[in-house]
Amino acid sequence: MESPVLRIENFYAYFGDNCVLKNVNLSIPKNKATAIMGPSGCGKTTLIRCINRMHELTLGATVSGKIYLLDEDIYATNPIIVRRKIGMVFQRPNPFPTMSIYDNVIAGYKLNGIKIAKNELEKIVEESLRKAALWDEVKDFLHRKGSFLSGGQQQRLCLARALAMRPEIILLDEPTSALDPKSTASIEELITELVDYVTIIIVTHNTAQAARISDFTAFMYLGELIEFGPTEKMFTVPKDKRTEEYLGGKFG
């Protein structure tokens, strides 16, 4: 693997005394889609919340170990800067309900007090909506509220909002679990195109989805990283019996 965009080293995460991530070591390749899969409660969401420093927002949550974004220690960096470079899209679409589509896309700039010329903002809005495959659907009513869009469109708007900050990585936490099959297919297709611009890390409990859209897969179980490698290889010749049993539907 060429030099990874993200390195996780000897990483532990806790809620109070409860250890939820145990000695995770993982290198995420740049401009690829990496799926993190495993049964409920295995630590998938905690891991990505640690990657963009949201874990510590929970009372009593702590971490130990290192995470490097392009050789920069994210835990020695201002979390606001970390979250600009590592965007996140959640399970349920969450556009800001009182804001227009246009303002939703550039919300990161406004909330962070980043001053940018109007014509530059317009460029960012168009570019981000195009990358999120939403521009043609909304370009004639950018100043209407984002909440009138369908669920799938709202999720693409949230993607555009994350892309607008020009991050290195976008974290997706089960981004299609609240969507119908047609919207799910369009988000999956989009993910395979977005890796041209950005590294994608997607949490999914859906093994078929991981197989369809990811280049690499990490399998987690009870807070431990059990196996990591090229998706095709893991799905055909898993090294660990637990991976094989999970992929075979023996538990989930």
For residue range 167-182, list pLDDT tens digits in order. Answer: 999 999 999 998 999 9
| Residue 252 confidence (pLDDT) | 67
pLDDT score at 87: 96
Q: What is the chain's alpha carbon radius of gyration, rounded to the nearest angstrom?
A: 18
Better-scored residue on pLDDT, 136 or 112? 136
Q: Delimit the domains of the chain by residue range.
A: 6-247
What value does the mean pLDDT take over residues 176-205? 94
| Minimum mean pLDDT range among 1-10, 22-31, 78-87, 235-244 | 1-10
Read off the pLDDT of residues 208-251 as tens digits, 9 standing for 90 and up.
999 999 999 999 999 999 999 999 999 999 999 999 999 998 87
Percent of the chain with pLDDT over 70: 99
Residue pair 161/95 in contact by the 8 Å Cβ criterion? yes
Percentage of the residues of the chain whose pLDDT score is greater than 90 = 90
User: What pLDDT, in 10s, does the model give residues 89-126?
Assistant: 999 999 999 999 999 999 999 888 889 999 999 999 99
At residue 2, does pLDDT exceed 80? no
- Residue 222: strand, helix, or coil: coil
Answer whether 38's CB lies under 8 Å from 234's CB: no
Q: Which of these CATH numbers, 3.30.60.50, 3.40.50.300, 1.10.3720.10, 3.40.1010.10, describes 6-247?
A: 3.40.50.300
The H or E element that residue 6 is part of is: strand 6-15
Higher pLDDT, 2 or 176: 176
- In whole angstroms, what is the distance from residue 214 CA to residue 200 CA? 9
User: Is residue 8 over pLDDT 90?
Assistant: yes
Q: Please, what is the average pLDDT of the chain?
A: 95
What is the rounded CA–CA span in Å between residue 232 and residue 38? 17
pLDDT of residue 146: 87
Q: Grade residue 1 by pLDDT with cuts at 50, 70 and 90.
A: low
